[in-house]
Structures are given as structure tokens and as C-alpha cells.
Amino acid sequence: MGLRANPTYRQRRFGAEVRAIREGAGLSAGEAAAVMRMQASHISNVEGGRTALSPERLRSLVEASGRKGTTYVDALVELGQASGKGWWTEYRDRLRPSLLDLAELEDGARDIVCYEPLFVPGLLQTMDYAIAGYRGGYTRASRPEQDLEVEFRMRRQAVLTGENAPRLHAVIHEAALHVSFGDPATRRDQLVRLLKVAELPNITLQVLPFDGAVAFGSSFTVLRPPVRKLSTVIVAHIERSLYLGDVDSLARYDDWFARLCEVALPPVSGDSRHSPHTVKDSYGLIQRLLYPLL
């Protein structure tokens, strides 16, 4: 089998975890190769995500590192053996690989947490809002390319209502709720959708108000599979988004999100509709913004 020219994020992440196990055990590439009965050059390709590693060899490396069989090891074996195929596969060679990586991560997530300072999260956008964002943005993509990305974004949203749907917790800055792309109807329908999806039992929505704490500047998403050690942070960037999976980054962004939740308004909930709004909350703020648009 030839080496992969363009490994997916999942394949690169598997390789990074193998390298972390090897380095954590204090083993050189040659020593690890001897443990797994393979050539040292093979180790480099595995750690770079360019080729696979059998479950037997992975477990022999884990045993040599002094670890015992754990849910993490089982999950890592599963990560390495996954086919990577799903509904997103049909978009291969038509969309940026990073979008396919995102869909695969969402498909395997148990929890998704995200913070957005300027836009409604993609998983919660209406089609008109998404279209307006692409049309009015700075991308040089052609109209057919934009339409394909909007279609892909809308299909991604099915993860929230499908079987084994993940829990989504979103903190959105109030600034994002004022974006209308010049069309009040687009803004109105988007605010209505936020209130509607927030009724789903697996979705928690909070708003960080203008008169609250200083906003965090960058949007980010943390995708957590059943084994949280294999979580991924995606930090949006105009050039290329960062995909982070190291222990320190995961802890740092988990802490930042927890702090955002503390300073944001209480979440939208089913009880919000029937409770007297003597205390400012996310539901009341969205309703206040929506009222002039009705």
C-alpha cells in the first residue's frame, strides 16, 4: 500500500497520538520499531499520518510504554481503523479538505461547544443567513463554489437531530445577533431559528451581552468524542483554521469556554417562555432584538 499524499485530520491526529505514546515512554523511533517489529522508517510515516498501524502493533507499543488497556487505547485503535467515510465523502475533491475534516469530527462528537463573537454558528444558521454570509464576504470563490459550501453547511446541521446527536453548547456574542447583511428579514428569521433550536434538549444557547464582560476575540469550537482526551479545538482564522489536539491547548480552551459560560447570560430554555423576566437572560435579549423586526 502506498503512502498517503494528503492525510486527513483524523489520520494526522492518530499519528500524533502514536508519537506522544512513544515519546512519553522515552523510546526512540528505532526502539519503538523493534517493539512493534517493523522498520524505523515505518514509524515516521505512521506518526505523520501517511500510513496506518495495526491494532496489534499499537497495543504492543502501549504495553511497552507501561500503560494498561484503557478506554483511551480502545478509542485510539478505533480512530486508526476508521474508514473516514460518511455523507461528506461525496464532496471529496469538490470542497476544501478542512470542511470534510470538520464534518467527520462533528459526526464522531458527543459534545460540541463553541464561541462566536461575530456570526451565528454554522450549525445554527438558516440557509438565507448562510447564503448572505458567502455573498457578502471576502471570499473569491465563484457562485457555484459558494452554493456548494452552503449546501454542505446545511447538511452538516443534520448531526444535531440525527441518531446519537451530540450535545451542543454555544455562546454567541450579542454583536452576532445584530448582523443582518442588509436584509432585516434574514436577521429576523435567524433570530427565530435560534429560539426554536434552543428548545431541543441537546442544545444550550447563551448570549454574551454588550454590557457584559470583555468579549473573547476569536471564535473557536471544541469537538469532544466519547474519550475527551481525543478532543479537538478548531480556532477560526482568515487564512487557515488551527486544529489543536494537545493536552495544554484542550485544557486552555476548556477553561476559556467555562469562563465565557459564567459571564454570559443564563441560557435559553423551555421555561424561559413562561417565566417573568425580572432577570436578564438570553431568551429575553433575543426576544427584545426580534420584536422590532416582527
Torsion of CA 138, 141, 147, 153, to 10 degrees: -60
Query: What digits encode the pLDDT tens for the residues 210-259?
Result: 998 888 889 999 999 999 999 999 998 877 789 999 999 999 999 999 99
Q: What pLDDT digit, counting tens, does each position of 177-214 carry?
A: 999 898 999 999 999 999 999 999 999 999 999 998 88
Task: Please tell me the predicted confidence (pLDDT) of residue 135.
Answer: 87
Q: Which CATH architecture has domain 9-81?
A: Orthogonal Bundle (1.10)
The full set of domain ranges for the chain reads: 9-81, 87-293
Asked whether the beta carbons of 157 and 127 are under 8 A apart, the reply is no
Positive or negative, the CA dihedral 69, 71, 76, 81 is positive
Check for a shared fold between 9-81 and 87-293.
no
Residue pair 222/254 in contact (Cβ under 8 Å)? The answer is yes
What topology is assigned to 87-293 in CATH? Endonuclease; Chain A (3.30.870)
Any idea what DSSP says for residue 182?
T
Write out pLDDT tens, residues 32-46. Answer: 999 999 988 899 999
Euclidean distance between CA atoms 253 and 240, whole angstroms: 18
Tens of pLDDT, residue by residue over 75-132, are: 999 999 999 999 999 999 999 999 999 999 999 999 999 999 999 999 999 999 999 9
Digit-coded pLDDT (tens) for 161-177: 988 999 999 999 999 99
∠ CA 143-145-149, nearest 5°, is 115
Q: Strands 242-244 and 220-224, how do they pair?
A: unpaired
* Residue in 161, 195, 224, 160 with CA at minimum distance from that of residue 283: 195
Helix axes 9-24, 97-107, angle to 10 degrees: 70
Measured over the CA atoms of residue 193, residue 163, residue 8 and residue 95, the dihedral's sign is negative
- Per-residue model confidence (pLDDT) at position 216: 80
pTM: 0.93
